Amino acid sequence: MVVSYIKDLEQGHQDYATMTPQLAALSRPQPPKAVALVRQQGAFKSLAFARVAPNGANVYIATFTHGKLIWVIMPLSKDGKVTGVFFRPFPL
């Protein structure tokens, strides 16, 4: 799932169909900033699972040619939709 989010952002868009309606609504204003942050990292190289956070979120480290981003994916809803996702430069 994280890889598809990264690839979508590299291409300049997000897949709102994979998100809960609430997350999709919150995410719609974000693409320009999100796309810029992902693109400034260079080409995507790999993704590594880091840990499960105390709140049940899965934490990943994405490696790019010019940097790394930490990605956090909250537990999925009962219907399999993403309830929360965020990323930031790693390390902070």
- Cα separation, 24 vs 4, in Å, equals 16
pTM of the model: 0.90
What residue segments make up the domains of the chain, in order of their start? 2-90
Q: Give the model confidence (pLDDT) of 8-60 as tens digits.
A: 999 998 999 999 999 999 999 888 889 999 999 999 999 999 999 999 999 99
Say how many C-beta atoms besides its own lie within 10 A of residue 10's C-beta.
16
